[in-house]
Amino acid sequence: MHIQRTEVLPVSSRIEVVTGAFGTGFLLPGRFLLHFFFPSCCASCGAARRGVGGGGLCRACWRALPLIDGEEACQTCALPSAAPICRACRNGASPFRRAAAVARYEGVTRRLVHALKFRGHDILAAPAGTLMAATARIRGLDQDCSAVVPVPSTSRRNRDRGYDPGALLAREVARELGRPLLALLSRVREAPPQSTVPAAQRRRNVLGAFATSRAARGTRLLLVDDVMTTGATVFEAAHTLVAAGASRVDLLVLARTPEAGPLHHDHLETA
């Protein structure tokens, strides 16, 4: 009964559930000792956190996440937009049936993603995945879904950091939604990181970067990634799955840039 109640909580309330893991203002003796010997700081603002476990941000930073209201975002690319379908998607830019993002890629969100991807804070994947799953439920992305599919990072980058952030997020989302996690995509070549490539060249940078298997045929998939900026990576991943016979691909990301990237304009020009 308790689980059913939390499933329908809006994301803003879900943050209270996530941060509730930190305790209610005072530390139990065991936690006090643990905190005394292993003090932890917020991965976003650096403030000392009270308590341990549950994630790597302080309560204030969790609450400061710039959440995206689903009513004010494009339904097929998650871009903050006054219209239900943004101008680029009306021209056929998005391969997704539906798309949702938890928060705008700025402020606390940017620092959270940076800590998860580049500073080894893999502990952030669990609470971030919980928020992503809550967003998926609110937007109906968990309905009639065959499997959750991570967008894989390149093996060299994963070797360097010791884990794949997108895969960790996807695992949490799959577990929360009670759906299978299927690693249907693999990288077929090592492309330079998208963050190092000028926005206008990102589409070409990831063209043909993914391979998938026959197992994609006839599936209804929820693609999961950490950040969507121009959309080049997730669009290419979705095109690969659809070309392999996936009957539908939805998208769930943790963070979304507030402005349309040049990719949208590429699609407009080639549409």
Site string for Zn ion, 44-63 (x = CB under 5 A): xx-x----------x--x--
Interaction residues for Zn ion, span 204-263 (CB under 5 A): none
Single out the residue of 63, 241, 18, 250 nearest to residue 141, CA to CA. Answer: 250
Least distance to Zn ion from the beta carbon of 221, Å? 19
Q: Which of 74, 132, 174, 232 binds Zn ion (CB under 5 A)?
A: 74
Distance in angstroms (rounded) separating the CA atoms of residues 169 and 122: 10
Least distance to Zn ion from the beta carbon of 57, Å? 5
Place of tokens 């994630």: 55
Q: Which is nearer to Zn ion, 56 or 152 (CB)?
A: 56
Q: Which is nearer to Zn ion, 145 or 251 (CB)?
A: 251
Task: Note the helical H segments in the chain.
Answer: 2-7, 11-19, 29-37, 59-63, 87-90, 107-118, 125-138, 155-161, 165-177, 202-206, 232-243, 262-270
Q: Which is nearer to Zn ion, 91 or 146 (CB)?
A: 91
User: Total residues at the site for Zn ion (CB under 5 A)?
Assistant: 11
Q: Which is nearer to Zn ion, 64 or 215 (CB)?
A: 64
Least distance to Zn ion from the beta carbon of 186, Å? 27
Stretch that binds Zn ion, among 70-78, 131-139, 141-149, 250-258 (CB under 5 A): 70-78
Please list the helix, strand and coil fractions of the chain in percent, rounded to the nearest 5, in that order: 45, 15, 40
Q: Which is nearer to Zn ion, 44 or 230 (CB)?
A: 44
Q: Which is nearer to Zn ion, 58 or 151 (CB)?
A: 58
Q: Which of 86, 102, 103, 227 binds Zn ion (CB under 5 A)?
A: 86
Least distance to Zn ion from the beta carbon of 105, Å? 15
Distance in angstroms (rounded) separating the CA atoms of residues 76 and 69: 14
Least distance to Zn ion from the beta carbon of 86, Å? 3
Rounded to the nearest 10 degrees, what angle do helices 125-138 and 165-177 cross at?
A: 50
Q: What 8-state DSSP symbol labels residue 72?
A: G
89 binds Zn ion (CB under 5 A): yes
Three-class SS of residue 81? Answer: coil
Least distance to Zn ion from the beta carbon of 74, Å? 3
Distance in angstroms (rounded) separating the CA atoms of residues 148 and 170: 7
As given in the structure block, the two tokens for residue 64 are 């400061």
191, 242, 243, 267 from 188: Cα distances, Å = 9, 17, 16, 24
Interacting residue ranges for Zn ion, rule: CB under 5 A: 42, 44-45, 47, 58, 61, 74, 77, 79, 86, 89
